[in-house]
């Protein structure tokens, strides 16, 4: 499912009198809220769905696939997702 399909699913779930533009605004608001919550608090927990959290990757040695040269990859931060047991059970 891509973002367009998600917007269509939200529109159909909300009912016939909901416009596609309103559904798109709702999806955009949720995604922006999750992003700002992770940025501000370090994690966003949605009960019954899962938790988005900031994770750190330590510096490591890698290899340039084109030249085979060994390179240093700097430490970085990323966002991880841990699904809830309810979501795992529904799969």
Q: Which tens digits make up the pLDDT trace of 3-56?
A: 999 999 999 998 878 898 999 999 999 999 999 999 999 999 999 999 999 999
In CATH, 42-91 is 3.30.1600.10: no
Determine the pLDDT at residue 16: 73
Model pTM above 0.85 = no
Question: Domain map of the chain by residue range?
Answer: 1-41, 42-91
Q: Give the pLDDT score at 17.
A: 85
DSSP output for the chain? --HHHHHHHHHHHH-TTS-HHHHHHHHHHHHHHHHHHHHHHSEEEETTTEEEEEEEE--EEEE-TTT--EEEEPPEEEEEEEE-HHHHHH-
């Amino acid at each position: 499912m891509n973002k367009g399909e998600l917007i269509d699913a939200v529109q159909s779930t909300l009912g016939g009198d909901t416009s596609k533009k309103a559904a798109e605004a709702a999806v955009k608001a949720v995604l922006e809220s999750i992003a700002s919550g992770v940025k501000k608090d370090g994690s966003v927990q949605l009960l019954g769905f899962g938790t988005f959290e900031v994770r750190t990757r330590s510096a490591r040695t890698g290899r340039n696939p084109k030249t085979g040269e060994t390179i240093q990859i700097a430490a970085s931060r990323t966002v991880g997702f841990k699904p809830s047991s309810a979501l795992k059970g529904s799969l």
